[in-house]
Structure 1
Amino acid sequence: MQVVIAPAEELARTAADAVEELLARRPDAVLGLATGSSPLGLYDELVRRHERGLSFARVRAFSLDEYVGLPAGHPQSYRSVLTREVVARLDLPADALHVPDGTADDLPAAAAAYEAAIADAGGVDLQVLGIGTDGHLAFNEPGSSLASRTRVKTLTAQTRHDNARFFDDDPDAVPRHVLTQGIGTILAARHLVLLATGRAKAEAVHQMVEGAVSALWPATALQLHPHVSVLVDEAAAARLQLAGYYREAWAGRPDGWGL
């Protein structure tokens, strides 16, 4: 696990460098996209690079999750969010964005179909991630199986409270159920890039990087992956016991090495 501690703007550029380097090697790469506040700086940076010539025309993209029961076109559905923040601002074709079907009559079948679509695409090359204050990854809440695949999950009161800011600060307006990639699904991606900023994420980041692997903190499963990049600002890094080493390792990396 590689930990980078830097200001948020620098983190966005570092993550964008990884995406750009991937697309230089493989223009038809498969990207995994996250929603929430954490990846917005990265998406803004990718837009700037697209304006300078970086193309996403052959890319395929998969969302981590989707709310269950929001009507098609709802502004806070993750399809709408990713269309607004990513697709509409890049040359990524609209039909290249794949999102779990939270309106399906048969949700388990929709989950299985989503797993199959990821497999048919050859798997995710680079997965963008955030982390919840309780250590949830995608919508894999504490107690989730570390081998789980895409499925229906019930959101905790804490997660609904955290996401209320997207629903006029009304936790009751946040859907109670989601379709989410499982921990096992996420771990199958070839490169995981997690971004976290702010003091509220500090304990979760500490547990994820330095704690014991446990379903109590689902993001600790990332310790089991061979290629994980954790990008955090000073506030989110406040609880890291080995912060000095992480800074030294990043500053002393071999010339030309990125994430």
Structure 2
Amino acid sequence: MNLHIFRTNDDLNEAAAGLFASQLRVKPASVFGLATGSTPIGIYDKLAEWHSAGRVSFARAYSFNLDEYVGLPHHHPESYLRFMEEKLFSRIDMPESHRHIPDGNAESLDEECRRYDELMEDYQTDIQLLGLGHNGHIGFNEPDKSLRSGTHVVELKEDTRRANARFFPSLEEVPTSAVTMGIATIMKAKTILLVVRGADKAEIVHRALTGPITTDCPASLLQVHPSLVVMLDSEAGRLFA
């Protein structure tokens, strides 16, 4: 594990974006696993800025998103499809056919999960970007007695829905389920980049990276990955000082 703690979020964003840019220089047709939520926004802003300046191109790259809510229309302001379009895809040159997000409105969610897994079998992710939930979830893989290996539908825990309620008019409007990439798929990535920000995540990220490996904290499984890069802001990293 390579752990980095940054004094400012701008420093963190630049370092994380630099990892993607370096990968693209070595392999223009790189495959990236992408995340949503507030954590990656600054990283996407930096990559879009560099693309606009001609410093980086995604013209040959591919992406696979971690997850999508079940039942939100594609045009809904909180759908992850719309999030990715607004925060990144509309600002870079990655072809639309190279971008992949699970369809939470598929007629058969089981078939959609199988389709997504079969699609990813043709690629190996070079860098998988992850955030971290307050309960230790990665993607939408929630704490449980056992964890699913492949893409699947998950019922969201109440604390996860409450954490995401800030993006919706009310808690009642937060979806109760999502389609998420499974733990085994995440762990197949050549490099995993875990980014965590904020004092409210200090205890869970410390537990995930130094505590016992357990499905009660899905992110703890990252401890066994051979190429884990962790980037924390100073508040999230205060227990590592």
Q: Would the alpha carbon gap of residues 68 and 144 (structure 1) be closer, same or farther in structure 2, given more than 3 Å must change?
A: farther
Query: 2:84 maps to which residue?
Result: 82
Provide Cα deviations, 1:132-170, integer angstroms capped at 9, x if missing partner: 0111101001116356211000001101011011112x1
Q: Would the alpha carbon gap of residues 31 and 69 (structure 1) be closer, same or farther in structure 2, given more than 3 Å must change?
A: same
Aligned mates of 2:98, 2:149 — CA distance in 1: 25
Query: 2:165 maps to which residue?
Result: 164
Identity of aligned residues (%): 41
What is the aligned-residue RMSD (CA, Å)?
Answer: 1.1
Query: 1:206 maps to which residue?
Result: 206
Correspondence 1:48 to 2:31? no
Correspondence 1:138 to 2:154? no
Query: 1:127 maps to which residue?
Result: 128
Q: CA deviation at 1:101?
A: 1.2
Q: Would the alpha carbon gap of residues 144 and 116 (structure 1) be closer, same or farther in structure 2, given more than 3 Å must change?
A: farther
Question: Is the contact made by 2:136 and 2:218 (CA closer than 8 Å) also made in structure 1?
Answer: yes
Provide Cα deviations, 1:180-222, integer angstroms capped at 9, x if missing partner: 0111110011111111110111111101111110111110010
Query: 2:180 maps to which residue?
Result: 180
Query: 2:38 maps to which residue?
Result: 37
Q: Would the alpha carbon gap of residues 156 and 24 (structure 1) be closer, same or farther in structure 2, given more than 3 Å must change?
A: same
Aligned mates of 1:238, 1:146 — CA distance in 2: 29
TM-score scaled by structure 1?
A: 0.89
Query: 1:250 maps to which residue?
Result: none
Q: CA deviation at 1:95?
A: 2.3
Equivalent of residue 61 in structure 2, options 34, 47, 59 = 59
Query: 1:118 maps to which residue?
Result: 120
Aligned mates of 2:206, 2:74 — CA distance in 1: 37
Query: 1:225 maps to which residue?
Result: 225
3-state SS of 1:193 partner? strand
Gaps of 5+ in 2: none
Q: CA deviation at 1:239?
A: 2.4
Question: Is the contact made by 1:144 and 1:218 (CA closer than 8 Å) also made in structure 2?
Answer: no
Question: Is the contact made by 1:124 and 1:190 (CA closer than 8 Å) also made in structure 2?
Answer: yes
Q: CA deviation at 1:46?
A: 0.4
Query: 2:236 maps to which residue?
Result: 236
Question: Is the contact made by 1:146 and 1:184 (CA closer than 8 Å) also made in structure 2?
Answer: no
Provide Cα deviations, 1:223-259, integer angstroms capped at 9, x if missing partner: 111001110011101223xx3xxxxxxxxxxxxxxxx
Gaps of 5+ in 1: 244-259
Equivalent of residue 103 in structure 1, options 102, 105, 111 = 105
Query: 2:21 maps to which residue?
Result: 20
3-state SS of 1:239 partner? helix
User: 4+ residue runs of structure 1 moved beyond 4 angstroms?
Assistant: none
Count the aligned residue pairs.
Answer: 239
Question: Is the contact made by 2:141 and 2:147 (CA closer than 8 Å) also made in structure 1?
Answer: no
Aligned mates of 1:123, 1:74 — CA distance in 2: 30
Aligned mates of 1:145, 1:99 — CA distance in 2: 25
Q: Give the residue type in structure 2 aligned to 1:85.
A: K
TM-score scaled by structure 2?
A: 0.96
Q: Give the residue type in structure 2 aligned to 1:204.
A: I
